[in-house]
Amino acid sequence: MTERKTIAGQDLREMFSAAASWLEKSSSEIDALNVFPVPDGDTGTNMMLTMRSTMEEAFRAPDNSAAGVASAMAKGALMGARGNSGVILSQVWRGLAEGLAGKESFTTADFAKALEQASKTAYKGVSNPVEGTMLTVMKAAASAARDQVDIGNEDIISVLEAVVEAARDSVANTPLLLKVLREAGVVDAGGQGIYTLFEGALRYLRGEVELMRLRKPQIIVSEIPHTTPLPQTAVVDEVPYGYCTEFMLKGEKIDTEAIKKRLEHKGESLIVVGDESAVRIHIHTLDPGNIVHWATKLGTMHQVSIRNMDEQHQDFLEMQKERVPTADTAVITVVSGEGLNDIFASLGAAVVIPGGQTMNPSTKDILQAVESAPSDKIIILPNNKNIILTAEQVHSLTQKQVAVVPTTTIPQGVVALLAFDYEADFKTNTRIMENAISSVKSIEITRSIRSTKVNGLKIRRKQPIGLLDGELIVAGNSDLDVLNKLLDKMEMDKAEIITIYHGEDVEAAEAEQISAGITEKYPKVQVEVVRGGQPHYNYIISVE
């Protein structure tokens, strides 16, 4: 991989735009980490919405230098910060902007300095910093960057890899530092959010944008066992949580330190951040009215949010009673090719059976997969018309409930798996996955194994040929020639996304040339290239 010794403003903006999208894909899973009795249970959503505001402002920035983009990000984050985690995240971007001030672009040394400033600013914004939170993870990330710079590492990507690894380790370690996490058996949600953002930025710089559409971020699992069971009933004499109160205060010559001193004994989880003209305030208090009344004397209030945390906590307790310990339905899929295997696994397939063209799995192979899957309800995606009947034999051989969604191609399998709804029941998921099949067209390009005549075509041995939804309809002089002929037969004015899965015998550069040709011919269509690694078929192409 080519080294990157500097990052300009445009790349800074794009890498964290990709990171924001990466975070959004796992926001609900991060929300679910809040399983301890602190009813601020929407960390992922708060960080996601804060990042949306952050990047909206970044894309409006008139100054495209690194300093200009970072400054815009800090402004957007402050104005759009939501919840405790969102406010702390806004301070991370504020510190990063301070560290990159005056920089047209930045080096690894600049990056390390900016991350250290980001960590310091985030700690300073919290009245009583607690270890085992996103603050700790941010500090570990900054420390890793500094260590890399101290040993002379000048490659931004390599430094960011160390940052991501340190953040991951720090997140996994949070239950050791915070009792409430240890008791619940989870990692810190805000720390997971920080890790996910850095991972998304790293994936962008590595050139993995096309894979990010198909994959989801890893949620780090605590390996520490619960020390006590999750609460099932409320304690009668428990101290009330009060109200989560947050608002933006605008005015002139606002003194943030004076506000902190005034409010530090008025509640818990106090955060006061901003400048003389705009301050974001977050506090958990039993008397929000008194705080609001006092704040109106200092300036005008905006984006006021007051939530009853006692009601949220009761909802949390009810939610715990309804939690299901295992997934209701497991998906099994048949795939051939290392890259495709990884893709289906990342999309949530519980078991991936090796197989496909010239290597169809047996009924026994599929039955063993069904019995090993972690659920009594199974949906099978054959991804090949020659495997469907085999898969349908399994339901009579097992006590498990089995449904076969008749996918005949890899693209059909992908869209079916993407349509899977984790909140839907077995029958509903079977139906929506079957309905999803029709939303995609499948192109397969291979070589003829013999000379023949079929469908009015005179085909030579080893000649490139193309199938559309399993039907052989094109022969040509090259893979690109076949693809163009196939696309000409389709309603490309309705197409939005083309995904190219290139096979084990195709170099990435060749696949990129194919992609460039499609983009030139159909500029409104989004084209993505993914290494499928499949045998026999140089290209499997999804048209949505």
pLDDT at residue 313 in the model: 53
Task: Give the pLDDT of residue 304.
Answer: 84
Let me know how long the chain is. Answer: 544
Predicted confidence (pLDDT) at residue 166 exceeds the cutoff of 60: yes
Per-residue pLDDT of 43-73, as tens digits, reads: 888 899 889 989 999 999 889 999 999 999 9
Answer whether residue 233 shows pLDDT above 50: no
- Give the range among 217-231, 273-287, 356-370 with minimum mean pLDDT: 217-231
- Find all residues with CB under 8 Å of 423, minimum gap 6, and list them: none
- Separation between Cα atoms, residue 175 and residue 153, nearest integer Å: 31
Please report which confidence band the pLDDT of residue 183 belongs to, taking 50, 70 and 90 as the band edges. low
Average pLDDT over residues 174-201: 87
- Over residues 4-18, the mean pLDDT reads 93
For the cut 80, the answer to whether the pLDDT of residue 109 exceeds it is yes
pLDDT at 225: 47
The architecture (CATH level 2) of 243-320 comes to 2-Layer Sandwich (3.30)
**Domain boundaries, given as residue ranges, for the chain:** 7-214, 243-320, 330-439, 442-543
pLDDT of residue 357: 61
Range among 103-112, 338-347, 390-399 rated most confident: 103-112
Residue 311, pLDDT > 80, answer no
Tell me what pLDDT residue 28 has. 81
- Which of 275 and 498 is assigned the larger pLDDT? 498
Q: What pLDDT score was predicted for residue 232?
A: 33
Give the Cα separation of 231 and 183 in Å (integer). Answer: 10
What is residue 279's predicted lDDT score, i.e. its pLDDT? 87
Q: Return the higher-pLDDT residue of 338 and 500.
A: 500
pLDDT surpasses 50 at 540? yes
The answer to whether the CB of 269 falls within 8 A of the CB of 284 is yes
The whole-angstrom separation of Cα 416 and Cα 382 is 11
Judged by average pLDDT, the poorest of 54-63, 233-242, 510-519 is 233-242
User: 243-320 with 330-439: one CATH topology?
Assistant: no
Q: What is the pLDDT of residues 405-458, one digit of tens each?
A: 999 999 999 999 988 887 788 999 999 999 999 999 999 999 887 787 877 888
Residue 257 has pLDDT above 60, yes or no: yes
Select from 215, 175, 177, 182 the least CA-distant residue to 196: 215
Q: What is the mean pLDDT of the chain?
A: 85
**Confidence grade of residue 201 (pLDDT, cut at 50, 70, 90):** very high
- Cα–Cα distance, 280 to 22 (Å, whole number): 26
Residue 321, pLDDT above cutoff 90: no
Q: Which residue has the higher pLDDT, 327 or 309?
A: 309
pLDDT at 356: 67
132 Rama sector, left if φ>0, alpha if ψ -120 to 50, beta otherwise: left
Total Cβ atoms within 10 A of residue 477: 9
Residue with the larger pLDDT of the pair 245 and 405: 405
Residue 314: pLDDT band (50, 70, 90) is low
Q: Which CATH architecture best describes the domain 442-543?
A: 2-Layer Sandwich (3.30)
346-356 average pLDDT score? 84
Cα angle value 179/180/186 (rounded, 5°): 105
pLDDT of 240: 55
* Predicted confidence (pLDDT) at residue 235 exceeds the cutoff of 60: no
- Asked if 299 and 252 touch (Cβ cutoff 8 Å), the reply is yes
Topology given in CATH for the domain delimited by 7-214: 1.25.40
- pLDDT at 305 (0 to 100): 81
Mean pLDDT, rounded, for 17-44: 74
Judge whether 60 and 72 are in contact, CB under 8 Å. Answer: yes
Beta-ladder partners of 335: 354
* Confidence (pLDDT) at 241: 59
**CATH homologous superfamily for the domain 330-439:** Phosphotransferase system, mannose-type IIA component (3.40.50.510)
Taking CA 162 as the corner, what is the angle to CA 156 and CA 168, rounded to the nearest 5 degrees?
Answer: 135
Alpha helices in 245-394 (DSSP H): 256-263, 288-295, 309-321, 338-346, 363-372, 388-392
Given a contact cutoff of 8 angstroms between Cβ atoms, the answer to whether 63 and 249 are in contact is no
Task: Please check whether residue 534 is in contact with residue 540, taking contact to mean a CB–CB distance below 8 angstroms.
Answer: yes
Q: What is the value of pTM for the model shown?
A: 0.53
Q: Is residue 270 pLDDT above 60, yes or no?
A: yes
Q: How many CA atoms lie within 13 A of 193 on its CB side?
A: 32
| pLDDT recorded at residue 59 | 92
Residue 521 has pLDDT above 60, yes or no: yes
The per-residue pLDDT for 226 is 42
